[in-house]
Structure 1
Amino acid sequence: MQNFNFKPKAFLFDLNGTMINDMEYHTLAWQFVMNESLGENLDYETVKREMYGKNHEVLERVFGRGRFNTEQMDRLSIEKERRYQQSYLPHLALLDGLSAFLAKAKTHGILMAIASAAIPFNIDFVVDGLKIRDYLAAIVSADDVQHSKPDPETFLKAADALHVSPNDCLVFEDAPKGVESALNAGMKCIVLCTTHSAAEFEGYPNILGYIVNYNDQKLNSLF
């Protein structure tokens, strides 16, 4: 049962799959790097399952610890992100309804932040490319945390930067690990069904409900 009867003081947005619908492009970029540059033979669904956390963590999950040194992982990460940006740039756009939703939140005095496992190189690509920086009071990236989602550090740092209690934050996420991170941070969550189906989020008690974009009229209850 969906229940949007919650009045948050802050919105915390994951970025990829939550503000923009780009996870397919990330997966395809990683698939190319892993198969063409590193000689693997991984199908799309196998790569998709690893699409969470920092880039270095993705590489270590797939290839094992010790396969690459830090310099090599940095190089592979940038190769992947450049390929992602090149392919996604012609499609760069906010999810339907998000532009109006951000403006409405700002009018109602709700603070907003990005809390993402993306690196600044990618966050800046989106935030500046779509000209939404003025809506954001804080940005927490992969470079700002020691522990990735589902650890709560990313969301807790965002709440701290906004000077808002975790209980007063509402997270927007598209991935189970992100929802788990919000749960660990003591935060309620709304799920964007851009990357995963609602059935993949069973068992998370902090989910208020599911939306496909920000035109959903249920969101009006948040203001």
Structure 2
Amino acid sequence: MYDRYAGLIFDMDGTILDTEPTHQAAWQAVLSRYGMHIDMQSMTALNGSTTRRIAQLIIEANQADMDADQLTREKTALVKTMLLDTVRPLPLIDVVKSWHGRRPMAVGTGSESALVEALLSHLNLRRYFTAVVTADDVQHHKPAPDTFLLCARLMGVDARKCLVFEDADFGLEAARLAGMDAVDVRKQ
């Protein structure tokens, strides 16, 4: 089914790892410290965004006088402790395992490097990927194509010959702008 592609790129959160419920719980816990909140529908609409971008939007929506970097650090620290105990691979990890060694593969995610590396190592999945591109590696995040273009470059594959697996509208737009085909895993 994927034979015509020279490289496979996977988003992480909600695509190969079931991290979203834990991310949402961490946001709720951190926001409650400051009397802020965000509804889950709004949170879901922000899937694929960086933690800092989400923090900034939450601060604006709550009209709070708070530093987005501080909120980002607090949420990242909390989610890191929670995820290592709760995260599990999603069924798409079977595609990763079955194509390992047959095609170069990469992770292209809006999560921070320390968290991504910790999760992939903890679950013994890092070895499957030629490259891992995180929010720390690009200046322009999804929906900009930079994350996926860097994945292709690090894999040594022409971007037009890559297939992206995504679960968020921002990521699907990033794949389109990168000239890559994409699979919306929400429809699988």
What's the TM-score bracket when you normalise by the shorter of the two chains? 0.7 to 0.9
TM value normalised by structure 2: 0.88
Query: What SS class does the counterpart of residue 159 from structure 1 fall into?
Result: helix
Looking at structure 2, the residues matched to 165 and 181 of structure 1 have their Cα atoms a distance apart, in angstroms, of: 16
Could you say which residue in structure 2 is the equivalent of 1:22?
A: 19
| 1:79/1:165 CA distance change after superposition, 3 Å | same
Looking at structure 1, the residues matched to 107 and 24 of structure 2 have their Cα atoms a distance apart, in angstroms, of: 21
Consecutive unaligned residues of structure 1, counting only runs of 5 or more, are 194-209, 212-223
**Pairwise CA RMSD of aligned residues?**
2.2
Q: Is the 8 A contact 1:31 1:44 kept in 2?
A: no
Query: What SS class does the counterpart of residue 12 from structure 1 fall into?
Result: strand
Q: Structure 2 matches for 1:114-193, cutoff 5 A? A: 114-193=107-186
Could you say which residue in structure 2 is the equivalent of 1:94?
A: 89
User: What is the number of residues matched between the two proteins?
Assistant: 186
Aligned: 1:47 with 2:25: no
- Alpha-carbon deviation of 1:41? 3.6
Query: What SS class does the counterpart of residue 189 from structure 1 fall into?
Result: strand
Query: What SS class does the counterpart of residue 100 from structure 2 fall into?
Result: helix
Could you say which residue in structure 2 is the equivalent of 1:81?
A: 76
Deviates more, 1:172-181 or 1:57-66: 57-66
| 1:88/1:124 CA distance change after superposition, 3 Å | same
TM value normalised by structure 1: 0.75
| 1:38/1:134 CA distance change after superposition, 3 Å | same
Looking at structure 1, the residues matched to 184 and 172 of structure 2 have their Cα atoms a distance apart, in angstroms, of: 8
How many percent of aligned residue pairs carry the same amino acid? 27
- Alpha-carbon deviation of 1:12? 0.5
Looking at structure 1, the residues matched to 38 and 167 of structure 2 have their Cα atoms a distance apart, in angstroms, of: 23
- Alpha-carbon deviation of 1:101? 2.5
Q: Which has the larger radius of gyration?
A: 1
